[in-house]
A and B are shown apart, each in its own frame.
Chain A
Amino acid sequence: MKVSYNWLKDFVDLSDISAEEIAERLTVSGFEVEEVEYANKYLHDVYVGKILKIERHPAADKLVVCQVDVGFKQVQIITSATNVFEGAHVPVSLDGADLANGVKIKPTAMRGVASDGMFCSGEELGVDDNYIEGGSLYGILILPEDMKPGTKIEDALMLNDVVFDINVTPNRPDCNSVVGIAREICAIYGKEFKEADVSYKTVGENVKDYVSVEVKTKNCPRYTASYVKNIKLERSPLWLRSRLWNVGIKPINNMVDITNYILIEQGQPMHAFDYKYIDGKKIVVRQASAGEEIAVLNGNSYKLDSDVMVIADANKPVVIAGVIGGVNSCIGDDTTESVFECAVFDLKSVRLTAKKFGVRTDSSARYEKGVNVNLPTTALKRALHLVDQLGCGEIVDGVVDVCSKQLQQTEELKISYSKVCKILGIDVAKEKMLQILNGLGIVSSIEGDVITCVTPYTREDIKNENDIAEEVIRIYGYDVYNNVEGVMFENSSITIGQYEPRLVLENNLKNLLVGGGFYETLNYSLYTASACDKLLLAEDDERRNVIKIANPISEDMSTIRTVMAHALLVDVAYNLSVGNKDLRLFEAGRVYQPKALPLTELPVENNRLSIAVCENGYNFFMLKGVIENLLLNVDLQYKLERSKQSYLHSGVSADVVTADGKVVGWFGKVHPTVLKNYDINQDVWYAELDTDYLAALAEKKYATKEISKYPVVERDIAVVVDEKVTNGELVAAIKSACGKIFYDVNLFDVYRSDALGEAKKSMAYKIMFMSEDKTLTGEEINSAVNKVLKSLEFRYGAKLR
């Protein structure tokens, strides 16, 4: 909200406080001043001048030489402008002047004649026709004759203001106004608030003879109206225009300007109707009917329905309540009689309507934050005061006031002084606390521990001790805490800290991966549903049921991911595209699987660890080693089965399957078609683990055995088997054939050659034997090896090589 320094001066004496200091103090007491703007920032060394004499330039037909009185001296200005005349009052920029359009003025000579400066157009001063007559003219701005030569132009045009851009928090709707901020400044500095003048003369008669008001909706707790006749529509005086202009509002005419003035000063949106268009002399506040339509002031036309509240006359809607006025009843050049509206509309209703039509106005912005039900009468009186002061029309006696809400000027609250101190953790002296509260207009007194607070109607946000504590400390000064010392939790409990188990596991796994050369990535959990296609998910794969965001930021981020792999593949493709090589990446993230669509309950959020490798010479068994090592951290019995993941290579991938058949991980080479879909032309290895499942397993327990005193004996064998026989099968057979003296077995070579026969391979094993209670004899070992060979031959047709 933009607030003018000069405007604030109407309500609080600021003669001893600079704008910069106000900005600082407002910020530390809860009204963050985001910017301090100087309305005339780019304007100086420009003065009002009076042209005394105009002569032709001796050397140029299109130039004239002017002698100009700028008050403190006489200067000579050369101009090509054609709208100047002797006696004209004009803006004169002198040596060193800065203009609003960034131009800097230096004395110069034009065709041999010296010029001390330049006359200015409205544009060069940063104003236009809306602000001052002739402001948009291509030529020199001719000033009113009452502007005295020598006056600084920013003073003459009343641009010498400072504007605070204040971030008003939603709990303080009362401060979306000059008076609200002025009250805060009074509280901060202990100054007296100067009430606005709300007096005005009327011409008698009775407003009720001109207009009636009927409220037919619960969304309008209060509607007040008054009537002005014999209106003289004209420009507002410069002081009023400057108030609006400096806070960024375009002056229009005296009646409309008054409504805007009240909006800014009092925080009360107003509307002025042209009376002759109000059918039946009647204002009806109601919900619109389906099929109604209204053309409004922003040039658009909207179809209405019963969710939209309107102000209507006897026949038609004339305003979308609280949001924007219709063209059918607005103040125009021929307006002579007007109804002034000051109303309160329900904030939710205005908010929904503004959202529905995508129309945000100064009016809707205030209604959405809440306008106090007590405000309209004060604001309306203030508006009528301005009508009277400006002489824009005759005010008819009385105000129509339809109010369905009980008006309460103040509210009494009893709170505990010691509780306020406890909340703050510091002792604020009773007198100091009362002084602060009273300064804020919260009339307070104390008896024992009980403070009785009478809050003004503007402060609907104050309900309990915490609210009072905040009021006290923000004025007392939060800087008391900047160097806080003492013992924390002095009077409270000891609690024991701990991590969620999954985070502990996840961190262990992450650190292992980092030790193995992996880099952690972070990826968006939003993606496009086409990721499921790229990953070749089957039509009936449940992961195709993705949750869609109703208001996505872009198609790319329109759904919530059900698959991890997409993100890492995108990362791999990106890194390859910028020339990065040897990629080992991982991500700890979530997938979000809905139970049903459309969503009626929260989805299952499952934490996963995903891994991707793109590196020359990498292979399936290296990745398998990574996964095995990670799984050693948990107490999991698992077996590997051929993977069913659509995006993995069907021959070079495995699922990690628990004893009860649950798939808790998978790894392998990425499917060639998937790689193509991601524009990757190198092998990529991918793995994923369900960390929620793993973290829920019981803690791994260790039971170690005594180390045997007897030596381990090794024997190597190599057997030729069919290609389809697996290592797993052979190892199991070796183990069972060895019986009790089996210690370990390692596959140390796989050899394929035409000499072995078609689809044959040689598998070489180192078998280790050991006994717990004796040294094994050569015979025992030989016998075991023979058993192994027989068993392998019998079961798998293996031949000793």
Chain B
Amino acid sequence: MKEKLQQIVEIGVNEIAAADDLKKLDEIRVKYLGKAGELTQILRGMKDVPAEDRREVGALANTVRESIEKALTEKLCVLENAKLAADMEKERVDITEPSQGVKKGALHPLTRFNNKFMDICVAMGFTVVQGPEVETDYYNFEALNVPKNHPARDMQDTFFITDNILLRSQTSNMQVRCMETMKPPFKIVCPGRVYRNDSDSSHSPIFNQFEALVVDENIGLKDLMLMIKEILKRLFGEDVKMRVRPSYFPFTEPSIEIDATCQMCQGKGCSLCKGSGFSEVFGAGVVNPKVLEMSGIDSTKYSGFAFGPGIDRSVMVTNKIPNIKYLFRNDLRFLKQMR
């Protein structure tokens, strides 16, 4: 009996190891553990074993059964995994075939730039406001220290609707509107469309500006410069260089223009920056006290500074857009490149 059991274990385990599919494995199970299986028969014949051997043989028989069962379970696992792997291999796809379902569209490059700029400003404590594009002469010019027939009006070819109503030529109208309605200290930034009556290959009659204004006590050109430097870094990267030039705007005094590293050539010099490595990004300045007073702000207590970039050009350069007309043509072949 003992020898028989030893034999079963040896042959059985070998058979199990040799089984190469689930069907064979099941046959082996039946052969040993089935109702008429060899091991089942032995266990059933236990009552014929002399009483003094029964304990020993019984223990051995159980060990043998356990060994067979364990070997079966392990092998089952191996064979099932192999089958799963084979099945999955059959389902293999060509991962280079095109994707399905809705494909993402894209924001306009101008919106992306606007959003980036606004995020920077909001993080610095600015409130984003928007205002009218059809505007009175007062807010667009007079309250900005440009009386009627002032020569500074020649700097901007304006679309007029009536003698007193026009299409704003600058987002600076919002400087005045905010100064009239908000109490200092405040920081505002106004993105928006502006209109000028000139159009050629490098100008569009409608373009986009930002106007930022800070009114507070104890602020001056240095704060303006520090702020602009920070904005430039966030817009164009840590390495950006800044260059300050004098300029003239009727509503700021002193007035400056700020150039930053040309984003087309990264400062190496190209046709766009005429080899200088810099291109103009901001007009800026300290708000003329006359302008503060006209809008009801005490210029002995408060001062202000303002800055504004024309953004179309920056959008063009940062996205390497070859033609300004692309911005308004809405050709899908262009828009798709902005995904």
Contact = CB atoms under 8 A, between A and B. Distances in A.
A368 B154 CA distance: 10
Contacts of A498: 122, 127-128
Interface stretch (B25-33, B52-60, B73-81, B326-334): B326-334
A500 to B, nearest CB: 5
Contact of B193 (A478, A525, A578, A603): A525
B254 A551 contact: no
B332 A580 contact: yes
Contact of B216 (A29, A493, A524): A493
A27 B245 contact: yes
Interface in B199-252: 199, 205-206, 216-227, 229-230, 241-248, 250
A604 to B, nearest CB: 10
Contacts of A482: 241-244
Interface in A117-148: none
A703 interface: no
A314 to B, nearest CB: 31
Given A470-B255, A578-B331, A489 B219 contact: yes
B246 A29 contact: yes
Interface string A455-467: 0000000011111
Interface stretch (B1-9, B10-18, B156-164): B156-164
A429 interface: no
A553 B247 CA distance: 28
Given A525-B133, A550-B160, A580-B332, A489 B223 contact: yes
B105 A518 contact: yes
Given A425-B222, A474-B246, A547-B161, A497 B330 contact: no
A523 interface: yes
A473 B151 contact: no
Given A369-B151, A495-B185, A503 B118 contact: yes
A644 to B, nearest CB: 27
A602 B165 contact: yes
B254 A171 contact: no
B303 A519 contact: no
Contacts of B241: 482
A243 interface: no
Nearest to A463: B290
Interface in A570-624: 571, 574-575, 578, 580, 583-585, 588, 590, 592, 598-599, 602-603, 605
A766 interface: no
Contacts, number: 263
Given A425-B221, A481-B225, A514 B167 contact: no
Interface in A478-492: 478-479, 481-482, 484-492
B134 A347 contact: no
Interface stretch (B42-50, B63-71, B83-91, B108-116): B108-116
B129 interface: yes
A448 interface: no
A241 to B, nearest CB: 31
B133 A557 contact: no
B253 interface: yes
A488 B151 contact: no
A520 B107 contact: yes
B132 A525 contact: no
Contacts of B111: 510, 520, 588
Contacts of B272: none
B206 A580 contact: no
Interface in A411-432: 422-426
B118 A605 contact: no
B218 A28 contact: no
Interface string B140-176: 0000000011111011000111100101000000000
B133 A580 contact: no
Contacts of A463: 290
Contact of B286 (A466, A550, A602): A466
B313 interface: no
A500 B128 contact: yes
A309 to B, nearest CB: 14
A590 B195 CA distance: 14
B280 to A, nearest CB: 11
Contact of B289 (A464, A510, A522, A549): A464
Contact of B222 (A172, A486, A511): A486
A526 interface: yes
A585 B330 contact: yes
Contact-residue size bin, chain B (C-beta under 8 Å from the other chain): 35 or more
Contacts of B161: 547-550, 560, 599
B221 A423 contact: yes
A467 B162 CA distance: 34
A552 interface: yes
A487 B111 CA distance: 31
A199 interface: no
A502 B130 CA distance: 10
A491 to B, nearest CB: 4
B199 A553 contact: yes
Contacts of B226: 484-488
A576 to B, nearest CB: 10
A170 B147 CA distance: 13
A351 interface: yes
Interface in A300-358: 347-348, 351-352
B94 to A, nearest CB: 24
Given A423-B286, A424-B220, A517 B336 contact: no
Nearest to A548: B161
A574 B110 CA distance: 21
Contact of B154 (A170, A465, A496): A170
Contacts of A585: 330
B281 interface: no
B105 A584 contact: yes
Contacts of B167: 549, 560
A494 interface: yes
A332 B11 CA distance: 135
A510 B107 contact: yes
Given A30-B247, A590-B133, A484 B222 contact: yes
Contact of A495 (B125, B221, B289, B338): B125
Contacts of A27: 245
A339 B217 CA distance: 58
B95 interface: no
B126 interface: yes
Contact of B254 (A426, A470, A507): A470
Contacts of A590: 133
Contact of A171 (B134, B248, B290, B336): B248
Given A479-B244, A495-B127, A519-B330, 15 more contacts: A32-B245, A169-B247, A351-B151, A426-B222, A466-B289, A492-B223, A497-B187, A500-B130, A503-B118, A514-B105, A518-B105, A575-B332, A578-B333, A585-B330, A602-B134
Interface of B: 102-108, 110-111, 115, 118, 121-130, 132-136, 148-152, 154-155, 159-162, 165, 167, 185-187, 193, 195, 197-199, 205-206, 216-227, 229-230, 241-248, 250, 253-256, 286, 288-290, 303, 327-333, 335-336, 338
15 contacts: A170-B154, A170-B248, A352-B149, A370-B151, A424-B254, A425-B224, A474-B246, A485-B226, A500-B130, A519-B330, A519-B336, A522-B110, A547-B161, A588-B111, A598-B162
6 A-B pairs with least C-beta separation? A425-B222, A169-B248, A470-B254, A30-B246, A488-B226, A497-B122
